[in-house]
């Protein structure tokens, strides 16, 4: 998994690949807001002896959502009765929205009336699940080498030695907090902690039999070890460590940024591993593999490795689903190659494989799928659409594919035949698990890159995104609670609202020429956000002149605007022109049209939608020159490419 990361200037270093579509591709999609993851060295700080030594772990209440995937088998399926159904889900309405300090891409855990989740700034929150009021908040230690955010790990809530405890990863550290007040029971840092140490816990822990089990990655850094740890849940001490390099020099090709699943009966831990971007000479027997290891010792049992050595960046992410088909115990996991693999849990033998999408470094299966009623369902990211899929768990047959949703990096969740999943089009959806029909949808205040938690008749979701590597936080991200509407109750929402203000001219920019690409001289426009239509090889340049302000864009080989419109109502409505739009921030859907491309595939503008700062200029395929997208959900399918500016373009009146 190639590691794009922030350089000292704050720009994204795109030369290192596209490891986190969650953080890169999604952040780019968020531009449409303009419209409408022997041992490494470590240290341990432990609350020794608080519960009299090692204590047994007990799962939270069975009808809560205590961890990513709801249970160690990571089915992401709510196990209890609920009034949510294919008939009633249309009556969901927003109950509350809690505005976090920064982006949330973790999935909430909800236990005994309290919701637990962390954000990219490292703040970890406990909220009243009924009201959304904050009960407590803890600031985690900040690790400078994270790729996207400090906390992307989803929490697990367990009773340890009689004390309810919340476990989550942040940067290089695994935390164990008291659930009642946020007090640190212990925290364990892995890696060396040095300035060049890229160790990061993006994995969501699973807590079983007194062990906290999680993966960690090193952003493909040769010479740094990745793998899977099991820590004592009461103390944070080592129980075992699985080294995918098997004692050989650290390859940088065995990152574990997904999350483990556990079969207690078979005493097995299952997980996927990352790609080999440093070069095929570093390829190992555990690169891009599904792996089973022993729960008690961490020793390997088997591995399944479908790809030949390459640098194609085809990670296994997400979390393996454990399910049965034809009385056979299977483990299944999607790959960034766009295929879902179902293996025999005892042997690792391939039972079936299904291509739901195509291979892409920023696409395929990244967010985990969910399993219920014989169906595996979930989303794929950038790459060939459609992006939501229902797959038969018995034989891998594609049962349905939903065509209106845009790329998804979010975990899926199921309750009583209803699939819940968010997407990059600022929309959270409920679908019929059997047919894939959309039963309900809600536009929210940002990309939905985290999963949902379901408790009783309530659905808890998250939204928000910003580009990694920027100092500016997201001001609109947060957590939602949706509940079934009572008779006569009106629908409420805090979804995005888009405006296009009258344009202003006679401007200059405070950004000096040459201060960043495109300012003061033409720069190339990349076309790597989504695959160009078949047969097209587009190219282009953009120049932003500071004084007086103007934007000039020249393209070639774009083809027809209709070729670029990707799914949903926008495809049916069509596209006849290309247009440039400016947006103020990734999480603030305010902006407007700059200019429409002419027959020569170029255009120029000397005005801006309003006197404000702008961090993106984006190329879209529009219905016509007088019809900007109706909102985010309509605009995302029209997105072609985008250019970001950090610091943002800052205009002021001239003269």
Higher-pLDDT residue of 390, 40: 390
pLDDT tier for residue 27 given thresholds of 50, 70 and 90: very low
pLDDT in tens, 91-132: 999 999 999 999 999 999 999 999 999 999 999 999 999 999
pLDDT tier for residue 628 given thresholds of 50, 70 and 90: confident
Q: How high is the pLDDT of residue 588? A: 65
Q: How high is the pLDDT of residue 495? A: 53
Mapped onto helix, strand or coil, the DSSP state of residue 570 is helix
Q: How high is the pLDDT of residue 57? A: 73
Inform me whether the pLDDT recorded for 39 exceeds 90. Answer: no
Inform me whether the pLDDT recorded for 218 exceeds 90. Answer: yes
What distances in angstroms separate CA 630 from CA 94, 608, 626, one per listed residue? Answer: 22, 19, 12
Inform me whether the pLDDT recorded for 249 exceeds 70. Answer: yes
pLDDT in tens, 505-559: 999 999 999 999 999 999 999 998 778 999 999 999 999 999 999 999 999 999 9
Rounded distance, CA 422 to CA 409, Å? 8
pLDDT in tens, 291-314: 999 999 999 999 999 999 999 999
Higher-pLDDT residue of 17, 469: 469
- Which of these, 196, 202, 93, 123, lies nearest to 428 by C-alpha position? 93
- Average confidence (pLDDT) over 471-490: 88
- Average confidence (pLDDT) over 599-611: 94
pLDDT in tens, 316-333: 999 999 999 999 999 999
Rounded distance, CA 190 to CA 199, Å? 7
Least confident of 10-14, 55-59, 121-125, 457-461: 10-14
Query: For 61-84, b where at least 16 C-beta lie within 10 A, e where not — what string?
Result: eeebbbbbbbbbbbbbbbeeebeb
In percent, the amount of the chain with pLDDT more than 90 equals 75
Rounded distance, CA 378 to CA 401, Å? 10
Q: How high is the pLDDT of residue 4? A: 32
Query: For 263-274, b where at least 16 C-beta lie within 10 A, e where not — what string?
Result: beebebbbbbbb
List, in order of start, the domains of the chain with CATH numbers. 42-484 (2.140.10.10), 498-653 (no CATH)
Q: What's the number of CA atoms in the CB half-sphere (13 Å) around residue 485?
A: 16
pLDDT tier for residue 494 given thresholds of 50, 70 and 90: low
- Average confidence (pLDDT) over 66-90: 98
Mapped onto helix, strand or coil, the DSSP state of residue 27 is helix
Q: How high is the pLDDT of residue 15? A: 28
- Which of these, 496, 445, 497, lies nearest to 466 by C-alpha position? 445
- Average confidence (pLDDT) over 486-503: 60
Contacts of residue 500, defined as CB under 8 A and 6 or more positions apart, other chains included, come to 35, 591, 592, 593, 609, 628
Q: How high is the pLDDT of residue 106? A: 98
Rounded distance, CA 571 to CA 380, Å? 19
Highest mean pLDDT (candidates 145-149, 401-405, 434-438, 570-574): 434-438
pLDDT in tens, 321-364: 999 999 999 999 999 999 999 999 999 999 999 999 999 888 89
- Average confidence (pLDDT) over 250-265: 98
- Average confidence (pLDDT) over 425-429: 94
Inform me whether the pLDDT recorded for 51 exceeds 50. Answer: no
Inform me whether the pLDDT recorded for 568 exceeds 90. Answer: no
How long, in residues, is the chain?
655
Q: How high is the pLDDT of residue 189? A: 96
Contacts of residue 319, defined as CB under 8 A and 6 or more positions apart, other chains included, come to 68, 69, 74, 204, 258, 259, 260, 261, 271, 333, 368, 411
Rounded distance, CA 545 to CA 565, Å? 30
Q: How high is the pLDDT of residue 589? A: 61
* Beta-strand runs (E) in 559-612: 577-585, 588-596, 602-605
Inform me whether the pLDDT recorded for 34 exceeds 60. Answer: no
Q: How high is the pLDDT of residue 162? A: 94
Inform me whether the pLDDT recorded for 585 exceeds 90. Answer: no
pTM above 0.75, yes or no: yes
Rounded distance, CA 421 to CA 427, Å? 9
Mean of the per-residue pLDDT values of the chain: 89
DSSP string, 324-392: EETTEEEEEEEBTTSEEEEEETTT--EEEEEESS---TT-BS-SPPEEETTEEEEE-BSSSS--EEEEE
Q: How high is the pLDDT of residue 48? A: 34
């Amino acid at each position: 998994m190639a590691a794009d990361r922030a350089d000292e200037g704050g720009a994204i270093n795109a030369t290192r690949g596209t490891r986190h579509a969650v953080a890169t591709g999604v952040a780019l999609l968020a531009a449409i807001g303009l419209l409408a993851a022997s041992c490494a060295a470590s240290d341990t700080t432990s609350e020794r002896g608080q519960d009299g030594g090692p204590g047994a772990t007990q799962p939270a209440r069975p009808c809560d959502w205590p961890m990513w995937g709801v249970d160690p088998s990571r089915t992401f399926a709510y196990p209890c009765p609920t009034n949510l159904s294919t008939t009633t889900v249309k009556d969901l309405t927003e109950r509350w929205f809690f505005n976090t300090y920064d982006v949330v891409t973790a999935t909430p855990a909800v236990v005994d009336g309290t919701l637990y989740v962390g954000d990219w700034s490292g703040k970890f929150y406990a909220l009243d699940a009924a009201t959304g009021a904050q009960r407590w908040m803890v600031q985690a230690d900040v690790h400078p080498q994270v790729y996207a955010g400090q906390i992307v790990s989803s929490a697990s809530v367990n009773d340890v030695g009689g004390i309810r405890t919340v476990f989550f990863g942040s940067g290089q550290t695994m935390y164990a907090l008291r659930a009642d007040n946020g007090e640190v029971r212990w925290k364990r840092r892995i890696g060396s902690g040095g300035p060049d140490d890229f160790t990061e816990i993006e994995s969501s822990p699973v807590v079983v039999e007194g062990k906290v089990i999680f993966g960690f990655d090193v952003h493909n850094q040769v010479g740094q070890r990745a793998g899977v740890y099991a820590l004592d849940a009461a103390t944070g001490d080592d129980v075992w460590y699985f080294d995918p390099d098997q004692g050989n020099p650290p390859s940088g090709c065995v990152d574990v940024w997904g999350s483990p699943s556990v079969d207690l009966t078979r005493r097995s831990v299952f997980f996927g591993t990352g790609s080999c971007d440093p070069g095929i000479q570093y390829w190992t027997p555990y690169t891009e593999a599904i792996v089973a290891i022993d729960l008690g010792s961490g020793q390997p049992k088997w591995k399944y490795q479908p790809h030949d050595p390459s640098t194609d960046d085809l990670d296994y992410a997400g979390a393996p689903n454990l399910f049965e088909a034809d009385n056979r115990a299977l483990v299944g996991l999607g790959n960034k190659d766009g295929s879902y693999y179902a293996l025999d849990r005892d042997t690792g033998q391939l039972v079936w494989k299904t291509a739901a999408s195509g291979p892409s470094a920023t696409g395929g299966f990244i967010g985990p799928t969910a399993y219920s009623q014989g169906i595996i369902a979930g989303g794929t990211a950038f790459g060939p659409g459609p992006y939501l899929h229902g797959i038969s768990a018995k034989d891998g047959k594609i049962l349905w594919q939903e065509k209106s949703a845009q790329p998804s990096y979010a975990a899926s969740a199921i309750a009583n035949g209803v699939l819940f999943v968010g997407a990059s089009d600022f929309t959270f959806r409920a679908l019929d698990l059997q047919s894939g029909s959309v039963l309900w949808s809600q536009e929210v205040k940002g990309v939905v890159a985290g999963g949902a938690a379901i408790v009783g008749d309530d659905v808890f979701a998250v939204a928000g995104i910003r580009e990694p590597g920027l100092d500016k936080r997201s001001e609109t991200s947060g957590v939602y609670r949706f509940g079934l509407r009572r008779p006569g109750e009106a629908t409420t929402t805090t979804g995005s609202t888009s405006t296009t203000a009258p344009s202003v001219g006679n401007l200059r920019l405070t950004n000096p020429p040459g201060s960043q690409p495109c300012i003061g001289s033409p720069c190339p426009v990349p076309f790597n956000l989504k695959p160009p239509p078949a047969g097209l090889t587009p190219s282009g340049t953009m120049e932003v002149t500071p004084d007086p302000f103007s934007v000039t864009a020249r393209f070639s080989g774009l083809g027809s605007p209709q070729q670029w419109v990707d799914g949903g109502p926008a495809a049916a409505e069509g596209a006849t022109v290309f247009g440039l739009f400016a947006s103020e921030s990734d999480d603030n859907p305010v902006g407007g049209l700059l200019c429409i491309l002419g027959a020569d595939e170029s255009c120029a503008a000397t005005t801006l939608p309003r006197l404000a700062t702008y961090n993106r200029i984006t190329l879209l395929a529009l219905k016509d020159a007088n019809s900007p997208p109706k909102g985010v959900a309509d605009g995302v399918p029209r997105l072609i490419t985008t250019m970001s500016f950090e610091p943002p373009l800052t205009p002021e009146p001239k003269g």
